[in-house]
Amino acid sequence: MSTQLTPILTKFWDDPQSWTLDTYLRNDGYKALRKAVTMQPNELVAMTKDSGLRGRGGAGFPTGMKWGFLPPPDGGPRYLVVNADESEPGTCKDIPLMLAAPHILLEGVVITSFAIGCEHAFIYLRGETVHVYRRLLRAVEEAYAAGYLGKNILGTDFSLEVTVHAGAGAYICGEETALLDSLEGRRGQPRLKPPFPAVAGLYARPTVVNNVESIASVPSILLHGADWFSGMGTEKSTGFGIFSLSGHVTRPGQYEAPLGITLRELLELAGGVREGHELKFWTPGGSSTPIFTAEHLDVPLDFESVAAAGSMLGTRALQIFDETTSVVRAVARWTDFYAHESCGKCTPCREGTFWLSQIMERLEHGRGSQDDIDKLVDICDNILGRAFCALGDGATSPITSAVQYFREEFEAGMHTPAAELFPPSRSTLFAKETVAP
Amino acid sequence: MTEIEHTANTGHSDDRTAMSEAGAAPDPVHRQTPLHASDQPYDAHVLAQLDADAALIIARYPQRRSALLPLLHLVQSVDGFVTGRGVNWCAEKLELTAAEVSGVATFYTQYKRHPNGDYTVGVCTNTLCAIMGGDEIFERVSDHLGIGHDETTEDGKVTLERVECNAACDYAPVVMVNWEFFDNQTPQSATALVDDLRAGNEVTPTRGASRACAFKHTERVLAGFPDGLADEGVGAGPASLEGLKVAHQRGWTAPDPGADDDHGPEGADGAGEAER
């Protein structure tokens, strides 16, 4: 039997005014919060642990465990910081969530803050989405007016202030410690861990950093129970998640489903690869996750199965490319991205991505040399695991996986430009439109 | 691409600024103006407004320095880019050095180091959008306007940029106008879009406010000052709803909380929801 979709976070996105407090209240909004404030904070942490919820921002670290790492209260401030810096190429779930239903996130923020003893929470939104920022600011304003934020929430002793902070354009700020530096008004560069943010995070105080979708999942878990949540998905990858299909697919979009659904099932729901074409390669979770091919159509999209097949579930950003696409061109562009976004702190990443980008550029234009493939793999080997954060690792994923599955295309890059082998105009959505030569 | 040294640029420019002396009328728009280029003081009333806004921004954070990113957005909302006087003003407000502020301003791509057009048109040329047509769109718009990446039309209306993934891949190829979404673009629609912007016609984002606002206006919002447009535009675009549509068609819903549901969604605790 095929896996069924489970609209939970996306349930009322089609409401004409989906973003307002009124709409949210008509859809069980803030009911979970009413329940939360009658519970003990440690019960909420335990519930989140029991649900098996794992971070939805890519790494998949158990959310409840992250909360549990905070040291015991010492009377000083503790912070919740929501990572809303969604920038991983292919990833496009948090931005539509916050545009359509910012109050789901906000309710999750209030509940989580209550659970971890935080009185000032931050939502760090990437700055390049101004309307999402408007919606979040408005939602916060509504929530203050309604008594879900501010002093003595719902008549309790619990008070919470929320600041929505707009970034200014830097992929690296999606890395949690770089995000904290950025939020402190610095260049967004990662910190050496340990200490982890749970011990010394924002302003060197105990801090929980969670992804938007993770926090937005909390109200439904509280409302329906940890068992309800863990009843979905697989044993170790419980619950639901938003799967984002993009690229050469008939109906790209957001599909909310239990973890463990396969690309074959998702493609069936999305009308398949665009008509007259076939799947060539895809990313399971953004550009930093090693690519897959048609042989991986039946890999269950959960953390363990995707890892066992040689990639990572990441952010469930399924970018679909058909047979018209040059894998060398695709990888060259991702490599440019990592070179552009490397913060420059760690030498292997700063220098390595620069050299990778030079070599990929040669190969894309049919000017590669005999030893370029070996050199690529060697440089990747020298970046992987040798930088503070995962950006460098991510830069190597598309290259090493593409060489593994499509080595012959890299070899062709020694004499033939990718644009000759795979004319770019055939890959475009407007392939029928006359494209200037 | 020709980049001509700005006449006001009295300092030496860095190596990346290609200079063409030959027969150049001073180009008012293509330039890499150093951060210190604009040091004339703010008018008193402008400064008073900036100071008042800064006080509100600083109050949002437990520590002053956290206000730096919004303050830099605020500087751009007044000056149109990060000016030398803006850097000095931020430094003064936050008790930092100008070097510390410049170090931050030069790290983030949204902070412009030279005067920006009224509309930043950002064509996504990261892999997915590029392959779906973003490269053709950028090329066509660039040819049409006669400018390259990070350059501005002579009328000061449009600054063209290649942008990285903007989290709208299901709407590829995507173009951003002052950080509003223009989804599912083609070379034709994008050239029409920039023509409208240059002609002063209103353009409507696919998912966003009812009109694309000017650069300085947008920067003020990004500094955290709402402009009252949050309720405009759609909640979700068509692609965002594809999965929900399939679920509706097939009668699929999330699992019923079921037997162990002692406090389910239909529970009595919803009473009194509307009044506070």
Full DSSP string of A106-156:
HHHHHHHHHHHT-SEEEEEE-TT-HHHHHHHHHHHHHHHHTTSSBSSGGGS
Using CA coordinates, name the residue in chain B closest to A148.
Answer: B276
Q: Is residue A370 part of a domain?
A: yes
Q: According to the model, what pLDDT value does residue A1 have? A: 58
Find the CB nearest B172 among A240, A246, A254. Answer: A246
Find the CB nearest B169 among A8, A163, A319. Answer: A319
Alpha carbons B63 and B86: distance in angstroms, whole number: 20
Q: Is residue A11 part of a domain?
A: no
- pTM over 0.90? The answer is yes
From A264, A288, A322, the end of a domain falls on A322
Asked if the model's pLDDT at residue A48 lies above 50, the reply is yes
- Are A76 and A225 part of one and the same domain? yes
Give me the CATH number covering residue A381.
1.20.1440.230
Q: According to the model, what pLDDT value does residue B13 have? A: 37
For residue range A338-360, what is the model confidence (pLDDT) as tens digits?
999 999 999 999 999 999 999 99
- Are A301 and A346 part of one and the same domain? no
Asked if the model's pLDDT at residue A224 lies above 70, the reply is yes
Alpha carbons A55 and A214: distance in angstroms, whole number: 6
- Are A216 and A354 part of one and the same domain? no
Q: Measured between beta carbons, which residues in chain A are less than 8 angstroms from residue B72?
A: 168
Give me the CATH number covering residue A143.
3.40.50.11540
Q: Name every residue whose Cβ is closer than 8 Å to that of residue A54 and which is 6 or more positions away in sequence.
A: A60, A61, A62, A63, A237, A238, A303
- Are A36 and A169 part of one and the same domain? yes
Residue spans of beta strands (DSSP E) within A159-270: 161-166, 207-211, 240-247, 253-258
- Are A40 and A182 part of one and the same domain? yes
pLDDT average, residue stretch B76-102: 96
- Residue B29 or A199, more confident: A199
- Are A204 and A280 part of one and the same domain? no
Q: According to the model, what pLDDT value does residue A332 have? A: 98
From the CA of A305, how many Å to the nearest CA of chain B? 23
Q: Is A90 on the interface with B (CB under 8 A)?
A: yes
Q: Is residue A13 part of a domain?
A: no
Indicate yes or no: CB of B180 within 8 angstroms of CB of A146: no
Q: What is the largest CA-CA distance in chain A?
A: 72
Per the structure, the complete domain to which residue A248 belongs is given by 240-322
Helix (H) or strand (E) holding A381: helix A372-383
| Surface of A (290-349) touching B: CB under 8 A | 317, 319, 321, 325, 329-331, 333-334, 337, 340-341, 343
- Are A125 and A90 part of one and the same domain? yes
- Are A214 and A251 part of one and the same domain? no
From the CA of A400, how many Å to the nearest CA of chain B? 17
Indicate yes or no: CB of B252 within 8 angstroms of CB of A164: no
- Are A390 and A275 part of one and the same domain? no
A382, HSE (Cβ side, Cα atoms, 13 Å): 16
Q: Name every residue whose Cβ is closer than 8 Å to that of residue B37 and which is 6 or more positions away in sequence.
A: B6, B8, B9, B10, B11, B83, B84
Instruction: Name the least confident of A13-22, A47-56, B8-17, B49-58.
Output: B8-17
Q: Are A291 and A282 in contact (CB under 8 A)?
A: yes
Question: Residue holding tokens 């030569």?
Answer: A437
Query: Given phi > 0 = left and psi -120 to 50 = alpha, else beta, which region is A52?
Result: left
- Are A271 and A367 part of one and the same domain? no
Adjacent-strand bridge partners of A246: A319
Give the pLDDT band of residue B171 (cuts 50, 70, 90).
Answer: very high
Average pLDDT value for chain B: 86
Amino acid at A142: E
Q: Is residue A102 part of a domain?
A: yes
Alpha carbons B165 and A366: distance in angstroms, whole number: 26
Amino acid at B81: F
The β-bridge relationship of strands A292-293 and A279-283 is antiparallel
- Are A307 and A368 part of one and the same domain? no
ipTM above 0.90, yes or no: yes
Q: Is residue A7 part of a domain?
A: no
Q: Measured between beta carbons, which residues in chain B are less than 8 angstroms from residue A220?
A: 254
Give me the CATH number covering residue A315.
3.10.20.600
Find the CB nearest B236 among A18, A186, A430. Answer: A18
Alpha carbons A343 and B20: distance in angstroms, whole number: 31
Average pLDDT value for chain A: 97
Q: Tell which residue, B89, B88, B81, has the closest CA to residue B112.
A: B81
- Give the number of other Cβ atoms within 10 Å of residue B106's Cβ: 13
For residue range A361-412, what is the model confidence (pLDDT) as tens digits?
999 999 999 999 999 999 999 999 999 999 999 999 999 999 999 999 999 9
Asked if the model's pLDDT at residue B30 lies above 90, the reply is no
Find the CB nearest B180 among A131, A223, A269. Answer: A131
Alpha carbons B128 and B167: distance in angstroms, whole number: 11
Alpha carbons A13 and A32: distance in angstroms, whole number: 19
- Are A174 and A33 part of one and the same domain? yes
From the CA of B115, how many Å to the nearest CA of chain A? 17
Q: Is B261 exposed, middle or buried (0-12, 13-18, 19+ CB in 10 A)?
A: middle
Amino acid at B30: H
Q: According to the model, what pLDDT value does residue B2 have? A: 34
A207-211: strand order across its sheet: A161-166, A120-125, A79-84, A207-211
Alpha carbons B265 and A427: distance in angstroms, whole number: 46
Q: According to the model, what pLDDT value does residue B4 have? A: 34
- Residue A163 or B257, more confident: A163
Q: Give the A:B interface size as CB pairs under 8 Å.
A: 328
- Give the number of other Cβ atoms within 10 Å of residue B202's Cβ: 9
Question: What percent of chain A stands above pLDDT 90?
Answer: 97
Q: According to the model, what pLDDT value does residue A281 have? A: 98
For residue range B48-79, what is the model confidence (pLDDT) as tens digits?
999 999 999 999 999 999 999 999 999 999 99
From A271, A300, A322, the end of a domain falls on A322
From the CA of A225, how many Å to the nearest CA of chain B? 8
For chain A, the domain total comes to 3
Using CA coordinates, name the residue in chain B closest to A153.
Answer: B276
Q: Measured between beta carbons, which residues in chain B are less than 8 angstroms from residue A78?
A: none
Find the CB nearest B208 among A4, A131, A167. Answer: A131
From A229, A256, A271, the end of a domain falls on A229
Asked if the model's pLDDT at residue B36 lies above 60, the reply is no
Give the pLDDT band of residue A11 (cuts 50, 70, 90).
Answer: very high
Asked if the model's pLDDT at residue B238 lies above 50, the reply is yes
Asked if the model's pLDDT at residue B20 lies above 60, the reply is no
- Give the number of other Cβ atoms within 10 Å of residue B95's Cβ: 9
Indicate yes or no: CB of B273 within 8 angstroms of CB of A171: no
Q: Is residue A1 part of a domain?
A: no
Q: According to the model, what pLDDT value does residue B32 have? A: 54
Q: Is A225 on the interface with B (CB under 8 A)?
A: yes
Overall size of chain A counted in residues: 437
Adjacent-strand bridge partners of A166: A125
Q: Is residue A2 part of a domain?
A: no
Q: According to the model, what pLDDT value does residue B40 have? A: 86
For residue range A13-45, what is the model confidence (pLDDT) as tens digits?
999 999 999 999 999 999 999 999 999 999 999
Find the CB nearest B132 among A14, A171, A429. Answer: A429
Q: Is A402 on the interface with B (CB under 8 A)?
A: no
Find the CB nearest B72 among A87, A94, A168. Answer: A168
From the CA of B83, how many Å to the nearest CA of chain A? 16
pLDDT average, residue stretch A284-300: 98
Q: According to the model, what pLDDT value does residue A2 have? A: 84
Give the pLDDT band of residue B83 (cuts 50, 70, 90).
Answer: very high
The β-bridge relationship of strands B180-182 and B175-177 is antiparallel
Q: Is residue A209 part of a domain?
A: yes
> Which of A92, A125, A433 to mutate against chain B (most B CBs within 10 Å)?
A92
Using CA coordinates, name the residue in chain A closest to B188.
Answer: A433
Q: According to the model, what pLDDT value does residue A84 have? A: 98
Using CA coordinates, name the residue in chain A closest to B271.
Answer: A31
pLDDT average, residue stretch A141-155: 98
Alpha carbons A362 and A198: distance in angstroms, whole number: 44
Q: Is B256 exposed, middle or buried (0-12, 13-18, 19+ CB in 10 A)?
A: exposed
Find the CB nearest A92 among B125, B167, B173. Answer: B167
Q: According to the model, what pLDDT value does residue B217 have? A: 98
